[in-house]
Chain A
Amino acid sequence: MSESRAAKGTHEVHEAHAHLGFVRTYIFSTDHKMIGRQFLFMGLFMLIIGGLMAMLIRWELAFPEKPLPVIGASKEFIDTGEPKTSMDQTWAEWLSKPESEQNWLTKNMPMGAITAPLYNSLFTMHATLMIFFVVMPIMVGGFGNFLIPLTIGARDMAFPTLNMLSFWVGLLSGIIMLASLFVPGGSAAAGWTSYAPLTAKVEYTGVNWGQNLWCISLIVMGISSLMGSINYITTIINMRAPGMTFFRMPLITWSLFITAILLLLALPVLTSALAMLLFDRMLGTHFFLPEGGGEPILWQHLFWFFGHPEVYILVLPAMGVTSEVLSVFSRKPIFGYRGMVFAMTAIAFLSWVVWGHHMFVSGMNPLIGTTFMMTTMVIAVPSAIKTFNWLGTLWGGSIRFTTPMLFGLAFVSNFVIGGLSGIFMASTPVDIFIHDTYYIVAHFHYVVAGIIFAIFAAITYWFPKMFGRMMNETLGKIHAILTFIFFNATFFPMHILGVGGHMRRIFNPLQYEFLHPLQPVNVFISISAFCLGVAQLIFLFNFVWSLFAGKRADRNPWHANTLEWITPSPPPHGNFDKIPTVYRGPYEYSSPEVAEDWLPQDRRLETTTAKGAH
């Protein structure tokens, strides 16, 4: 019934499409594919900013308090006061102005050297942008929007206008977050975790509107995300094509479905915590301030009750992408399809009862600490199942090493390291030792920054469907290999720093005498990070060039089974010429029933009825 309604609805849209002008097609579009692209571009733009921030952070850690190259003043100028280069003269001129006329640069990095307040604001904003404005918009907003209707055989989302609002509200939130960099007092500088009471009073950090805007931006982002997740859940439950049972949905769609449920339940917790924090800051309440009877630990409970499901919100879609890519390019069904679905469901449930492992050193009751240690050990099991099932997918396959496949394999490799290093944190006594050190930084970059490999896999895999053109494979492979090497050279040595006692969030490691012998490791990491940054220019070039000059893509360039590949590339408004009927699961590659090594979900075979009951 829902299908016929959807079909009828989009017929009208189909006819109206011709009359849509530029604004309704490209800007205030209600088409899920255009909204998906908009989210993708927003995420990629933020990725550039967040990435540049990471470069600044790495510069400071390798060469503490030294002026930046190019824009920094020369050593001679700092030592002698005699301007040598043209940049020296510029700095001399800027710094000679009265206090009120100083610009952003002279306030935050006089002579081009990063100051402690700027450093604190950089690591805070780097994490905030990467989590909320890169991974979430690209994976959930971008690919979630683009893929959900296409993979379930629907013409659009259930609520197209709500969908459009979700993007524009999300963009507003991004603009607020970026604007917070330029308010007096600087941006938020208390870490992306913004622990109270540090954040609950202006005088503790000296940051006023920066932190307020941070809270406001994330509340606005929560609204955007809420609109998106309601839409995803409704669409998946109600608008699947005939024959598309839940257990015939591709794993990417499953992962986005579970992610949407987690988002719907987790983000309101963050929103309420942010509202309380804003009240403490602006209205004089004492939710988190002990002097008024408040509870500083409450923030941590609320934040991580949101924060741990958030980790899976980020990583589940990446797992979904990987499952698609590994199966398609191994020309083999995914190993243990149902096991994969159950593992994701188990992760989703367990993600609500592990938040305390972020708080082992907060003086919690040891009995509660032990319970959280147990649940955290248990949540590692479904991740292990997924990893071995990916290996099972490769086993006996016929593997095509395309760019998306290389990124998929890289994601698995890095996820294994990130997952296994998580075991150390689950184990309370070991966590107490490495908590808040660079070991943690290494761990969450392997997991969360490792998602970038799934993002690249997704972009290179669905690029032909999104933009109707192929990306360049040679450039793609060079980019994949370089990114993999430099990613590991950047993040693996951080484990060693952490074990050596190198704390995270320290402005100048050389303040610590015992870290001096480890400084060469910091320099190595930073150089690798700069190389990692430069390697991304290859992707940027390939992406932009392919948008305009890539080879035209046909409907199904990868010979994949799922429904998005039966549509034209890119799909028109309304997606399908005729709503497809689904006869089988998404991964029937190398089926003996057909001559080709792929068998689309909507192809009717004479023998299908018997198989359909499977």
Chain B
Amino acid sequence: MKQLPFFPEQASTVAGRVDALFYFLITITGFFSLLVTVLIVYFAIKYHRRSEAERPRPIEGSLPLEIVWTIIPFGLFMVMFFWGASIYSTMAHPPEDALDIYVIGKQWMWKFQHPGGQREINELHIPVDRPIKLIMSSQDVIHDVFVPAFRVKGDVIPGRYTTLWFQATKPGTYHLFCAEYCGTQHSGMIGRVIVMEPAQYQAWLSGNLIQQAGALTPSPAVTGEIPTTGTTQGPTPPAGATTGMAPGSTTPLAEAPSTGAAEGSLASAGEKLFRDLGCIVCHRPGAEGRGPNLMGIFGKSVSLQNGETVIADENYLRESILHPQAKIVAGFQPIMPPYEGRLSEEELIQLIAYIKSLK
């Protein structure tokens, strides 16, 4: 579709649809602003007072006219509503086969984690033509991921997961930044999305892992916190991070060691945590334990003790780990201790990725 000047380029499947609605709104509102302007000017000229003796006809109103200008805007608004609702529905429901990427926002940087364990800061490498689902949370205040070229935006909120999905249509580098005011250096919370051909993406994934393994040092990072030394925290990405989209290019994270990722995927790191924290004692895969069997639980509906049912999505798993008493599964005792304050956001993501992988 041809674009108006000033619009960012369209680089996602939804961008063209959003713009089409945008152009429709511009046309309709443009027409009505023009109509009102022309009428005001025309009336101002035609009906300006010519003499003090002038007596206009004292029209008090017209019900038919008022009905006309109630019905027509209402009809137009309903067209806009249904059109908008259909696009919104697409944007709000990520496809089943989307690639999950975890996002953690903090003042003032972005941390991204790929399912294979790859990590990056302020840069996100993704494959083209594949739905990507961002599962996002914040360590401090509310942030917001905004990629203008994709026409998507989503708040990143502490204490819960929000999701945002898109499918990039063109390889390239796109701007990503924080759209929700988040404190003093908000305007410096800038990142980039690097969209790659699938083969390049695969090469980048393994390159990132090799670099992480190479950089692995005895790490004090028991909490899973990524040390930020040498990584981007200032207002602009360091010069080394702007080398473009070559596979395996230096990422700011290259030197960042981490607890689990270097050994493999998020899920395998989660599995290790699952053992180390003793979750496995009660939640035994396959067998009846003191806690619910987690095999294949993700995405299924769960019956609770109070008679309600919930879908076991990321937010449910998060809550059930941090505040197990909030929703007790039918047939079980409320004996699990809360893990609030005992897990970092990264560890939570690993545990959830592991539970999601149990199929």
What is A's interface to B at a CB cutoff of 8 Å? 116-117, 120, 189-191, 195, 197-198, 204-206, 290-291, 293-297, 330-333, 335-339, 361-363, 366, 369-370, 373-374, 377-378, 380-381, 384-385, 387-389, 391-392, 394-401, 409, 412-413, 416-417, 420-421, 423-424, 426-430, 432-433, 435-437, 496, 499-501, 503-509, 511-514, 518, 587-592, 597
Contact = CB atoms under 8 A, between A and B. Distances in A.
A417 B185 CA distance: 33
Contacts of A392: 59, 61-62, 65
Interface stretch (B75-83, B204-212, B244-252, B347-355): B75-83
Given A296-B142, A361-B144, A508-B187, A412 B22 contact: no
B261 to A, nearest CB: 25
B24 to A, nearest CB: 9
Contact of B141 (A116, A197, A373): A197
Contact of B43 (A120, A363, A399): A399
B153 A369 contact: no
A198 B44 contact: no
A436 B80 contact: no
Interface in B48-83: 48-50, 54-62, 65-66, 69-70, 73-74, 77-78, 80-81, 83
Contact of B155 (A293, A361, A421, A591): A361
A189 B141 CA distance: 14
B17 interface: yes
Contact of A116 (B151, B180, B185): B185
Interface of B: 4, 6-8, 14, 17-18, 21-22, 25, 28-29, 32-33, 36-37, 39-40, 43-44, 47-50, 54-62, 65-66, 69-70, 73-74, 77-78, 80-81, 83-85, 87-89, 91-93, 107, 140-142, 144, 146, 148, 151-155, 157-160, 162-163, 175, 177, 179-188, 190, 235-236, 323, 340-341
B69 A430 contact: no
Given A205-B184, A290-B159, 5 more contacts: A389-B61, A413-B40, A427-B80, A513-B175, A514-B175
A428 B88 contact: yes
B32 A420 contact: yes
B85 A428 contact: yes
A500 B93 contact: no
Given A198-B141, A377-B78, A335 B61 contact: yes
B29 A423 contact: yes
B102 to A, nearest CB: 15
A380 B72 CA distance: 12
Is chain B's binding surface mostly helix, strand, loop or mixed? mixed
A413 B37 contact: yes
B33 A417 contact: yes
A366 B91 CA distance: 9
Contacts of B55: 331, 398, 590, 592, 597
A332 B36 contact: no
A421 B32 CA distance: 11
A511 B190 CA distance: 9
A387 to B, nearest CB: 7
Given A117-B184, A373-B85, A430 B190 contact: no
B18 A388 contact: no
A63 B146 CA distance: 25
A597 to B, nearest CB: 6
B31 to A, nearest CB: 10
A330 B47 contact: yes
Contacts of B236: 511
B58 A430 contact: no
A508 B234 CA distance: 14
Contacts of A430: 18, 21-22, 25, 84
Contact of A433 (B18, B163, B185, B190): B18
Contacts of A592: 55, 58
